[in-house]
Every structure is written in structure tokens, then in C-alpha cells.
Amino acid sequence: MSDKVRVRFAPSPTGHLHLGGARTALFNWLYAKHNKGTFILRIEDTDRTRSTEEYIDNIIEGMKWLGLDWDEGPYRQTDRFSIYKDYADKLIKEGKAYYCYCSSEELEKRRQEALAQGKPLKYDGRCRNLRGPIFDRIPAIRFMMSQEGETVVNDLIRGQVAFDDAQLDDLIIMRSDGTPTYNFVVVVDDVDMQITHVIRGDDHLNNTPKQIHIYKALGYKIPAFAHLPMILGPDKTRLSKRHGATAVTSYKEMGYLSDAFVNYLVRLGWAHGDQEVFTRDEIVEFFSLEVVGKSAAVFNPEKLSWLNSQYIKNSPTEKLVELVMPFLIREKIIKEGQTLDKDWLSKAIDTLKERSRTLVELAHSLHFYIAEDIEYDEKARGKFLNGKSLSYLIDIRDAFKSLDNFIAPELEKVFMSLVEKYNIKLGNLAQPVRVAITGKAESPGIFEVLEIVGKEKTIRRLEEAIKTIGIIK
């Protein structure tokens, strides 16, 4: 085994990359980066009935979005069948595996008999000492498992976990059709790729004693194991689709930033003091398996949204300009191929990024800046666009028409002169103007908003509001 850390993320492409798998990938990636080791991506696609190219593409897309770059791979198990056969033949020759000629019907019959008698549901070993082949049958290959003693897993997270070897089965490692089985190929790949640390979900813990025996049979030093606790939904049940989106790429589509998502994932079971927000470099520097918790982590969508809002608020505006453009197109706020001045868009985003939890929210918030026409919120329209505000809107429209320099400080002067003229509070004037320009009763600072919307569009919207009041009257 190599002295250098070598870890792997080995998803089965029978579904999309989900939260649990992404966290496993992240912890492996971090462990490799922290220890200046090697991170390997391995696709465990031997389940040909359920594995699809679509799922493989989704896994790779999710990994790339998360920024989890791999050093080797992606390897695919379906490309390595000849390697598995060679290792199985080696075990046969060394007397550590044997041919099993039992048919599936016979095995099922014995299983039902054992069930009825309350006996363990394990292979009875009748082909262990078979002296010769049964010529009318194609055999499977079974691993000769230890029948006594115990196997102790020295887990880096859970501590020592002991398993009674008498409960272990002589598991099939090569089916009669020549295809290898999961527990065998995992070990062969780990041996062949010189894996030093196996970091995976604790749903694999029961497979570990079986795999340890195969490592030993192949003469390979047992890698260190770390089994991560599962992720639960907010109701403390196993995380599933009913808790919302679980595929990583769906969070990308919902407008989450990859750095925020990585920050959230790493906090599902790991901590560094009371710190909540980390840069990626900080996570790599601080990461350690020693402080990964033993208890299940609970997924909290609100916490993820809060964290994402922090990343949006603190992201350079020029980065947000690039990130939000696909959402402006997807949400039909701009047309495909339409361009926006980046400096202008940056100013608009600057007024909104502290208010946005996702890129989708940011895109929709930008609508009133970009659109030619706006729709009024009915409650805001009824409260602020009425006969009482009509003269205010007429006066401010006329003042804006004669304004040469349409910038926030000059706009504020216009407002203050009208506040003095009518002897009213600023809000009595600002709110009708805000609704006229944005359609809503809430927005960033009104002077900034007007400057970004621009003179021509501002005057047009004020005239539309004046007309609306006239129609209502």
C-alpha cells in the first residue's frame, strides 16, 4: 500500500448524484487535498440493468459544478472485467475461493427451508469440498469466508466495531454468467488502485467485514475505514425526495452557488469551532476526520438558503453578473441572445444582492430594472397610487423632465424640494414613486433605483401611473 493518501469516490450510476453522495465525494476530496494525496473518481456501473449513461453524465456534471476535481479517472468497472476474472482465478488457485454449482432454484428452496426453521439465511457450504465439476452446469465462484472468530473494523469515525465471522456468508464473487459482484469488485479496485482510506456512508458498514476478508485473501494491507453517518430530513427521517430536491444538479438549477453548497455540505457532520461560513481554502486547511460526528446530520433547507444568501451578498458583483445571466434568460426576463450593459447590470445587482437568497430570486428582483413594462402589486397600487398622490407624481414627473443630470444626489434634491413644498414626510412622496417605478411597495433606496432605471423609463412609468390613477377615478 502506498504511504501517500489515496482515496476514491465510487458512485453507482443508478440514480442522480444526491446530497449524501455529494457529501461523501466532498469529504474524500477534502481528505486528499488536506493531506496532499490523490482523489480518484470510479464509476461502479456493474449493475447493467439500472446503470445508465444519463446518470453517469449527471454525476460528472454535479462533481464539476461542486468543483470536486479528481486526479485519476473516471474509471468504469465495466471496462475492468478481465481484471476481476484474473483476481478470481488467483483466489481459486490459492484455495481461497471455490466453484459453486448450486442453481438459483436450489438456493431459494434452501433459503425458504432455513427461514421456516429459524436458521441463519446463509449458504450452507455444500460446494466447499466438491471434488470435481458438475458437467451440465456453469458454476459461480464463491469466496471461502472465515467461519469462526470475529472481524474488528477500526473505524476512524465510529471507533471499533466487531462482527461475528460465523454470521458471514461464502459470498458469490463471480456469477455463473461471468459478471463480478459488488463486494468483490470494490476490493479488487481498491487493491489495484492502492486505496489507503475508504471514506463512505455508514450504509456500507455491514459490507466492511466481508471486504476485509477479501483484502486479506488478496494479500493487501487493510485500508483505513471511515463510515459517515447518514443525512436525515428536517423531520429526522431518512432524506428522500419528499423532503424536496435531493439531486445536486437541481440545486444548481434552483440558483444556489456551488461554494455555498459545498460550505453547507461540509457542515453536515463536520465542524470547526463555531464558524459557519468558510472559504474553500479554509475548509481544506481545517478538514479532519477526527471531528466528524457519529450522529446523523439533519438537512435544513432554511439554513442552506441563509448560507447561500451570505455568499451572494459577499460575492464580487462582476461574478454575479455572469452567474445570473442564464437565469435571466431561463426565467424569460431577457430574451435569448439579448445583451445587457455589464456596468449597468452591476449597479442594479449591487442594490439587490443583499436581499436575494438565490440566483433565481436575484433574477426576478432585476425584472423591474430590465422590463419595459411592469405590473403593480394590487395592494401597493391601491394604497399608494390614488387621488392623494396624483399631484405628487405629476410634479415629480415634470421636475424630472427638466433635470439634466439624472443621478441620485440631484434626484434627492428634487424630492426634498417637493417634500418642503407640500410639507409632507419623505415617505409620502417616495412610496407612490416607488410603486410607480417598481410595481411594489418595497425596493432598494429610491434614489439609486431611479438612477439605474434611467430618465426615459422613469418618466414613462410615472406617466403610466398618473394615467392609472385617472382611470381609477
What pLDDT sits at residue 473? 47
- Cell triple for residue 84? 476481476
- Co-location of 70 and 105 in the same domain: no
Phi, then psi, of 103 in degrees rounded to 5: -80, 165
In a domain, 46, yes or no: yes
**Residues 89, 141: Cα–Cα separation, whole Å:** 9
- Co-location of 47 and 132 in the same domain: no
Report residues of the chain scoring pLDDT below 50.
473
**Residues 81, 77: Cα–Cα separation, whole Å:** 7
What pLDDT sits at residue 15? 92
- Co-location of 150 and 268 in the same domain: no
- Co-location of 210 and 281 in the same domain: no
What CATH number is given to the structural domain containing 328?
A: 1.10.8
* Residue where a domain terminates, one of 295, 311, 327: 311
Single pTM value for the model = 0.92
In a domain, 295, yes or no: yes
Residue span of the structural domain in which 356 resides: 315-366
Residues involved in catalysis: 241
What CATH number is given to the structural domain containing 270?
A: 1.10.1160.10
In a domain, 1, yes or no: no
* Residue where a domain terminates, one of 268, 287, 311: 311
In a domain, 218, yes or no: yes
- Phi-psi sector, 293: left (phi>0), alpha (psi -120 to 50), beta: beta
In a domain, 235, yes or no: no
In a domain, 269, yes or no: yes
Neighbouring residues of 125: CB distance < 8 A, sequence distance ≥ 6: 170
Domain count for the chain, please give it: 5
In a domain, 236, yes or no: no
- Co-location of 307 and 319 in the same domain: no
- Co-location of 124 and 257 in the same domain: no
User: Which of 43, 46, 41 is CA-nearest to residue 66?
Assistant: 41
- Co-location of 115 and 44 in the same domain: no
- Co-location of 214 and 259 in the same domain: no
Q: Looking up cell 410634479, which residue turns up?
A: 395
What pLDDT sits at residue 218? 97
* Residue where a domain terminates, one of 156, 174, 192: 174
Neighbouring residues of 74: CB distance < 8 A, sequence distance ≥ 6: 41, 42, 43, 56, 60
Q: Is the dihedral of CA 193, 231, 180, 128 positive or negative?
A: positive
Note every long-range contact of 274-282, with CB atoms under 8 Å and residues 24 or more positions apart, other chains counting: 276/307, 277/307, 277/310, 277/311, 280/67
What pLDDT sits at residue 423? 96
- Co-location of 362 and 376 in the same domain: no
Tally of residues, the chain:
473
**Residues 249, 444: Cα–Cα separation, whole Å:** 31
pLDDT tens sequence across 210-256: 999 999 999 999 999 999 999 998 888 888 777 766 789 999 999 99
